[in-house]
């Protein structure tokens, strides 16, 4: 059982979700080959060996710097064939999920997205996946010889099990058809820590009463090395940028810790955060629906609680 892992790159570095994908593939037991597309830091690629990759391929063609799904799918399909791999593992993401679907179609593979556990091979090849925005799970049998597995964030621990490996250049031949879709421009979210990669998220709602009061949340986030988020009404009113909107129609997050300040807990918001490992809610309304989903709750005025919490965290450090 040979496994190919597609690793995503951001600013030349490997995304944490892709490190998790490599660790997951290693835990499956087969020889693991990782492949990166476009510009990437060579030392970062070599470090994939620490997470279980026996081999690292790098397709450095500058045309691959832009994340064109058709082109990425063509390269991965060829790499699967060249490496004799039966399984492709990658992260469930805005890039990984559509790439997974296209590759599965190209090679006639069984596909599972949002996978949360290692496959059960005692009777076939069964994977557990998250469905209904994390409210339920489904067990799915992947019956085809070829398989594509898109892994849910935090479903595997990115722990070191080996050492650096050599990076092998991987040459590709790309046709005009691979670039039938043109990316004219892209806007990247900014900030010290970005929402999709964050282990901790500090998020605010209408209870913050205005954009001018966001400083206390930014200070808390800075102290925790966390990303900042917000509810949909906040982004709609222009208090915070739209790329910080967390929820069913915004960014779905799965951090280790989600801190919700002044957010009532509408079902659309909960759908975007219910995969968080721990949820802490701070709200002066003791009847706020969010408290029902919280692991820990503080009933109090955010403008009193948050600064005190920040100072306590600073003192603890």
Annotated binding residues for FAD: 206, 262-269, 283
Bridge partners, 175 (sequence order): none
Query: 70 with 182: CB under 8 angstroms?
Result: no
Distance from chain centroid for Cα 31: 24
Instruction: Tell the residue number behind the tokens 């450090």, with chain if given.
Output: 317
Q: Report the binding-site residues.
A: 206, 262-269, 283
């Amino acid at each position: 059982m040979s496994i190919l892992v597609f690793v995503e790159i951001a600013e030349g570095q490997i995304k944490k979700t892709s490190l998790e994908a490599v660790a997951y593939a290693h835990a499956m037991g087969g020889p693991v080959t990782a492949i990166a597309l476009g510009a990437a830091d060579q030392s970062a690629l070599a470090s994939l060996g620490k997470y279980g990759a026996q081999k690292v391929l790098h397709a450095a063609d500058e045309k691959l710097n832009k994340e064109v799904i058709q082109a990425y799918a063509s390269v991965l399909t060829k790499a699967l064939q060249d490496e004799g791999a039966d399984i492709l593992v990658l992260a469930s993401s805005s890039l990984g999920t559509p790439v997974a679907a296209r590759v599965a179609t190209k090679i006639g593979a069984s596909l599972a997205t949002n996978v949360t556990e290692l496959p059960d091979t005692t009777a076939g090849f069964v994977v557990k996946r998250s469905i209904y925005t994390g409210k339920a799970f489904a067990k799915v049998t992947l019956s085809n010889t070829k398989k594509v597995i898109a892994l849910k964030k935090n479903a595997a621990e990115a722990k070191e099990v080996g050492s650096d490996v050599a990076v092998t250049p991987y040459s590709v031949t790309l046709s005009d058809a691979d670039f039938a879709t043109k990316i004219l421009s892209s806007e990247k979210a900014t900030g010290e820590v970005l929402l999709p990669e964050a282990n901790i998220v500090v998020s605010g709602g209408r209870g913050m009463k205005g954009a001018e009061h966001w400083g206390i949340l930014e200070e808390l986030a800075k102290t925790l090395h966390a990303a900042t988020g917000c509810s949909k009404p906040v982004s709609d009113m222009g208090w915070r940028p739209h790329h910080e909107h967390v929820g069913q129609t915004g960014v779905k997050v799965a951090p280790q810790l989600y801190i919700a300040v002044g957010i009532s807990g509408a079902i659309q918001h909960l759908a975007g955060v219910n995969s968080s490992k721990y949820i802490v809610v701070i709200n002066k309304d003791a009847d706020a629906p969010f408290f029902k989903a919280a692991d820990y709750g503080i009933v109090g005025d955010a403008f009193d609680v948050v600064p005190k919490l920040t100072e306590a965290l600073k003192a603890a450090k």
